[in-house]
Structure 1
């Protein structure tokens, strides 16, 4: 009986070790040298949201979007040269996605102990990312987000599985993606180009975006 009970544990351990071995984080870091030209070394993206934050993003979501860029299922001209088969293989996509997903960006300025040199202080500060608060009705934004968005993107906006993290993302970037969804240039969900966002008023969307900027700092 004991041998039977141990079998699932052995299978799980083998699966985990295989999964870990299948991802090369050092290779992912190397690939990120190319991504950093637009998304920065730590994956913060552009300061004005011209390029999205990809640090800490859901790994399955990053993988799916890179494949979509490569196949032009999601059209993005700047990304296409870097994601074609000759540039980014399936293995490379897994490596860079795992590397980016593991980057943690603080939402508070670091506390220095006084022994850090100037470079160390700079590097610590560079890993801080705080999105400016957006204007909107936070109560309405919270109500709508928890009702319409949380099932896929998580109650705290961190995302899950194939659904991306929204909290900590540039508001300008999120608004641009919303506009693409509403125009039908990007499918919002499996139902096609028409999704939940099409049923919301512009002010409701603004309120949701404002709410997301209000929950980026974890509660103590």
Structure 2
């Protein structure tokens, strides 16, 4: 029978081995996700920040489940997007690949303020620090009305601070032009919504209400 001291030592050693193995697996998954993202980066940017003023949306920091669901929807053509189709076919992007790239993208943090350099960074490091900054221009509209509407109509799914929840996407920090385009697609029925039935929350809002909500989302993008 092992003495209490040796039992404790053995338990600690086993836990340390388990944690080390978990860390290695995590590093490998992150490396795989980063590698897969190399294809996405051509349009969405190295850090998933999107580009061309919202033609390509920000995907960094997005909810894992949302990224997974949308990639599978693109692959199945339940959400039609011609540029995305060839990259999401089974031969190009398997379920395992989708899971890994979604986890990698969700873990990328994009600051909302310019960095403060310490003086020891080289030129490349400074450039990368600046490139990761994501500041969305303020949208026109009534921020107070937009905030009230958002909390009443949108927060239950997208979270009180617009960071998303589960399969519902993060809205804050997203390109305003992209969000407006998606609203239009939802209203036209060209993009399926997660709600049951044809008529959803967006159908209850007039254009000015949508604009006020967008103004609110751009006003709360900076972290406190």
1:105 corresponds to = 110
1:124 corresponds to = 129
Runs of 4+ in 1 over 3 A off after TM superposition: none
Q: Secondary structure at 2:154's aligned position in 1? A: helix
Structure 1 distance, partners of 2:120, 2:174, is 32
2:221 to 207, 216, 220: 216
Alignment of structure 1 residues 46-195 onto 2, 5 Å: 46-195=51-200
Structure 2 distance, partners of 1:180, 1:205, is 14
- TM superposition shift of 1:134: 0.3
Higher Cα radius of gyration: 2
- TM superposition shift of 1:192: 3.1
Structure 2 distance, partners of 1:157, 1:116, is 33
1:31 to 27, 33, 36: 36
Q: CA RMSD in A?
A: 1.9
Does the CA contact (< 8 Å) of 2:79 and 2:192 recur in 1? no
Q: Give 5+ residue unaligned stretches, structure 2.
A: 1-17
- TM superposition shift of 1:187: 2.2
* Deviation by residue 1:160-212 (Cα, 9 ceiling, x = unmatched): 00000000000000000000001011122231332100010100000000100
Report the count of equivalent residues: 204
Q: TM-score, normalised by structure 2?
A: 0.87
